[in-house]
Amino acid sequence: MLVSVRSVPEALLAAGAGADFIDLKEPGEGALGGLPVATIAAIVRALRAHGVASPVSATIGDLPMHALQRIRAQVEAVGACGVDYVKVGIERGPQAFAVLDALAACDRPVVPVFVADRGLDAALVAHACGLPFPALMADTADKQAGSLFDAVPMAQLRHFLAQVRAAGQLVGLAGALRTGDVPLLQALAPDFAGFRSAVCVGDRATALCPQRLAALAALLRGQAVEPLAA
């Protein structure tokens, strides 16, 4: 269970609720909205000071594929905060191949996140599978249009997971995932699944809900829980 957080209190709450990955982002700034570098560094320090050893990832913000120099600079700035992984959104298009090459050549552990609102580009994914990334993810940009499962057919997701696993990389899924999607996630069995909307008191820009966090963690681990609202 990867949980996206925007502050020290949220990060500590997610860690205490059993999140396996702590993901730092600003939900109010888009699908992969980035937090200020100072905030990222402060959250990492707080987690480690509290003895939280869970892997920490952080996004660089929603940057277009033509802004390669900005992407590289932001990857370096975020990576210098001590996170374990730097997440970079990858949009479909010819420029994405050069972006992947540049990210693979940098000194930070980058996780490309394929923006899958229009499906997954098999050639782009295959290219990334041939590069030394620790993990690959699929996510959606429009969180109001339904979940990842509304945007991408199950067969395509199965192929994505098989493709990435064959390359020896970890694979994750995200994209407005809800508790009702848990059976589909369990059928696919990605290495990790990212949540924000499902564990907030309201929409994804509102505060995290401790009860929803605990219930989702139990559900993903196959424990009996009271039914949750979507």
Q: Which of 4, 11, 19, 25 is catalytic?
A: 25
Q: Which of 87, 143, 196, 212 is catalytic?
A: 87
- Whose structure tokens read 């374990």? 84
The H-assigned helical ranges of the chain are 8-16, 37-49, 68-79, 95-105, 122-129, 148-151, 154-166, 182-188, 210-220
Task: Indicate the pairing of strand 192-195 with strand 56-59.
Answer: unpaired
Q: What is the DSSP string of 40-81?
A: HHHHHHHHHHTT--S-EEEE-----TT-HHHHHHHHHHHHTT
Task: Indicate the pairing of strand 56-59 with strand 170-173.
Answer: unpaired
Task: Indicate the pairing of strand 110-115 with strand 21-24.
Answer: unpaired
Is 143 considered catalytic here? Answer: no
Residues facing residue 172 across a β-bridge: 137, 192
**C-alpha–C-alpha distance, residues 34 and 154, integer Å:** 29
Dmax over Cα atoms in the chain, in whole Å?
48
List, in order, residues 6 or more apart from 70 with CB less than 8 Å away: 63
Is 87 considered catalytic here? Answer: yes
CB 212 within 8 A of CB 200: yes
Q: Any idea which residues carry the catalytic annotation?
A: 25, 87
